[in-house]
Structure 1
Amino acid sequence: MTVRGLRGATTVEKDEEQAVLSATEALVIEVAEANGVRPEEIVSVLISTTPDIKSTFPAKAVRTIEGWKYVPVMCTHEMDVPGAMPQCIRILMHVNSEIPQKDIKHIYQNEAIKLRPDLQK
């Protein structure tokens, strides 16, 4: 078994707690489901937000998903690069998996689809 990195990103229209939590939960669930990952296979989840998101810790959303209570989660801010996509939440989920690297499904939602159009199917 190998540790694989599953990527994903989404955006919110406003920096409001419920919007951030809902978007984060939807993203991590879709990434896990798209790759057939169960919570016990997750090594850790790193969540970053653009500096304009300050209303809540997105990790709070992950910890409240049924069965995810013990998944290690950490939040951080992205670099503040001029012209970067605003209101963006990114995840890097490390999982124990037999999935070949080329078959990993990375998920980009909302405006974040523009970040990796090459991965859209």
Structure 2
Amino acid sequence: MVRAIRGAIQIDSNDQEAILLGVAELVTEVMERNRLTTDDVISVIFTSTPDLTAEFPALAARKLGFNDVPLICASEIDVPGALPRVVRLMAHVELDRPRAQIQHVYLRGAVALRVDIAQ
């Protein structure tokens, strides 16, 4: 079955190293909590708030070995009052588990975005 896994992390600052480290942390947590390998991943969509421009979030996934996985980056809409410096992901994966067993991952300040599903 194809499942979607959501996640987000608030990045400390708009600098390349901070973005790469934060996204690597997020991707690693999603993979570990859901017991995935890159072979299970169909594709990943990354979005970032308009205040994060120093690096593409997908580069962090490439550095983790997502070489054959289609990745794309996009900008979040600029909603007034929205949480700043956030990278979100939606990973499409092949899993034989029910939706209720998926672990969505929200880290650092991004926990506030989805307290209903953050684990």
1:76 equivalenced with 2:71 (yes/no): no
Which residue of 2 is the match for residue 58 of structure 1? 57
The normalised TM-score by structure 2 is 0.96
Deviation at 1:119, TM superposition (A): 2.1
Which residue of 1 is the match for residue 37 of structure 2? 38
User: Which of 86, 90, 93 is the aligned partner of 2:91?
Assistant: 93
What CA distance in whole angstroms lies between the structure 2 residues aligned with 1:12 and 1:107?
Answer: 14
What CA distance in whole angstroms lies between the structure 1 residues aligned with 2:96 and 2:116?
Answer: 23
Deviation at 1:120, TM superposition (A): 3.7
Which residue of 2 is the match for residue 22 of structure 1? 21
What CA distance in whole angstroms lies between the structure 1 residues aligned with 2:40 and 2:101?
Answer: 17
Which residue of 1 is the match for residue 103 of structure 2? 105
Which residue of 2 is the match for residue 5 of structure 1? 4
Q: Which blocks of at least 5 consecutive residues in structure 2 are unaligned?
A: none
Percent sequence identity is 38
CA RMSD of aligned residues (A): 0.9
What CA distance in whole angstroms lies between the structure 1 residues aligned with 2:19 and 2:27?
Answer: 12
Moved over 2 A (4+): none
What CA distance in whole angstroms lies between the structure 2 residues aligned with 1:15 and 1:68?
Answer: 23
The normalised TM-score by structure 1 is 0.94
